[in-house]
Amino acid sequence: MARNKYPEETVNKIVEVSMKLFLEKGYENTSMQDIVDGLGGLSKGAIYHHFKSKDDILIAVMDKIYSGHDDEWVALQKMDDGLTGLEKMKAVFEASLYNERQNEVFAMAPNFIKNPKMLALQIQSIYEESAPHFLQPIIEQGVADGTIETKYPKELAEVFLLLVNIWLTPVAHTNGNQDLEGRIGYFREILD
């Protein structure tokens, strides 16, 4: 068997084709065979050489969609020094609610209820990355400037991100948009 001289190109091609299919058909309606067919000549074995499962492909797709997202968080953290911690926190959540990438993610992502592995990865990411590195410093600024009152900035960061990234996402619920609108309304009350 010939070795692939350009494995990065192969991985990128798998991710690109998969992303297109996930957006068109959704994650759950895209089979590995659909991905193979979209790659034109690459075998299923070649895909499994680079990715253990369709879930792993989805993770790579999400990584591609969110590449640069950390830069956006850092920019939000370092917003105009005239803003209080609370104002920055509100801006972060407003930006999250109206982020264009979210629409792409929702269109392709599996339902968290039917895919506990993806739910677990999302929760792990909140605890290990988003809360301590991005939101907690903003909350700590709010505590220092008196606009946020809590003895638990770490826990508040985790709870808010769990609400936004799980409770508010359509991929975590089987109910319609009416429930989502109510959740968003209630979340705005919490922010106020």
Q: Going residue by residue through the chain (192 aa), what tens digit of pLDDT does each one get?
A: 445 667 888 899 999 999 888 878 877 788 999 999 999 878 888 899 999 998 889 888 877 876 655 555 566 656 666 889 998 888 877 776 666 666 666 666 666 666 677 778 788 888 998 899 989 999 999 999 999 999 999 999 999 888 888 887 766 666 656 677 888 888 888 877
- The Cα–Cα gap between 159 and 137 comes to 15
pLDDT at 58 (0 to 100): 84
User: Any residues with CB less than 8 A from the CB of 141 and at least 6 apart, and which?
Assistant: 84, 85, 88
- The Cα–Cα gap between 88 and 185 comes to 19
pTM above 0.85, yes or no: no
Q: What is the CA radius of gyration of the chain?
A: 19
